[in-house]
Amino acid sequence: MTRSNPPDPSGLDEPSPSARTPGAGPGVRPGASPDSGGPGGRLCAEAVTLAYGRTTVVHEVGLTVEEGGVGLVGESGSGKTTLARALLGLLAPRSGRITYGGRDLAAMRRGERAGFRGAVQPVFQDGSDALDPRMRLGSSIAEALAAHHRLDRAARRARVAELLTDVGLDPELAARRPHEVSGGQRQRAAIARALAVEPRVLVLDEPTSALDVTVQARVLDLLEDLRAGRGLTYLLITHNLAVVDRLCRTCHVMFAGRVVESGPARELLTRPAHPYTLALRDAVPRIGGAPPRAAGRTDAVPAAEGCAFRLRCPLAVDRCRTQAPAPRPVQGRVVACHRAEEVLAGAARK
């Protein structure tokens, strides 16, 4: 006969023996980095190519997630979420490598790998992705805690209350299930769960796009406060350049699996050099403003020859049809466009 425990009013059901935080292992030091990385090791993609079957979706991308935060911007299908999955260790590169603290993820031993997964935590678009719908919020957070800390029940309950308070939630909400709270509260609870293992890096995949505008602003405030208070580093995946400017120092813009412009986030928002960055900038929604414009002709597929963006680009010339632009340094950023100087000067903008 199966025995069932009565519900705990604190919201802390005992984590089931099978309950697991992805990649977590008992006894892993909270926030620990792999042996050679030390706390706060850098997360890098080195010439990474990613594919699903025969379809290559990311082509030889390199980036470093470092202090100050890094934004990865592009439309859906640009490859940014696939690259983020690889940086989380969820997808193996076809070529190139992902490193943390100088160690190749593919070569990490089991203990190192568990340390990496504690140090680099994801926060997805909708908090429900991280929260089991059958579990109370408190239990979901306690489950992550149990995987990384040896705490007794009372200490775990106190820590869950602290974490909920840290993300601006009433600890009483520990007793609710995900569907019993608002979208903003759910996302805060998902952030609390990610923070339970004391990570060094948060990979934020469209963390506010499922929320309405006022709730978005409050969650962004929270993320800013947490970064400052906990010394977190963010890799932010989004389609919104303004959100990157708010949370990150550096920005990479991806189109059709390639980085087309990289540089300081503020520069890319205020003075884009690639026509695609310019189109994304013009698509940023503004509170009380006109509806955003789409980023160019979004129905056109990437071109197979020459510049992949040319079928959407209002500035395309003959050269763009025959010659793929190589990334090159232009006025404080790296950009892959034959006409970047003209875009920057505003001369080529219609």
Q: Which residues bind ligand SF4 (CB under 6 A)?
A: 274-275, 307, 309-310, 313, 315-316, 320, 325, 337-339
Shortest Å, Cβ 323 to ligand SF4: 8
Whether 144 contacts 21, CB under 8 Å: yes
Query: What are residue 103's DSSP bridge partners?
Result: 100
Shortest Å, Cβ 306 to ligand SF4: 7
Choose between 259 and 307: whose C-beta lies nearer to ligand SF4.
307
Residue in the block written with tokens 């990496």 = 116
Q: Which helix (H) or strand (E) holds 120?
A: strand 120-123
Choose between 151 and 315: whose C-beta lies nearer to ligand SF4.
315
Shortest Å, Cβ 263 to ligand SF4: 16
The Cα 129–Cα 164 span in angstroms is 18
Amino acid sitting at position 79: G
Choose between 269 and 320: whose C-beta lies nearer to ligand SF4.
320
Cα-Cα-Cα-Cα dihedral sign, residues 170, 194, 213, 289: positive
Choose between 171 and 272: whose C-beta lies nearer to ligand SF4.
272
Shortest Å, Cβ 247 to ligand SF4: 27
Choose between 116 and 309: whose C-beta lies nearer to ligand SF4.
309
Q: Is 184 helix (H, G, I), strand (E, B) or coil?
A: helix
Whether 307 contacts 231, CB under 8 Å: no
Shortest Å, Cβ 321 to ligand SF4: 8
Choose between 160 and 307: whose C-beta lies nearer to ligand SF4.
307
Q: What is the DSSP string of 30-90?
A: TTPPPTTT-TTPPEEEEEEEEEETTEEEEEEEEEEE-TT-EEEE--TTSSHHHHHHHHTTS
Shortest Å, Cβ 238 to ligand SF4: 21
Shortest Å, Cβ 293 to ligand SF4: 17
Choose between 236 and 273: whose C-beta lies nearer to ligand SF4.
273
CA distances from 295 to 206, 252, 283, 300, 316 (A): 18, 16, 6, 11, 15
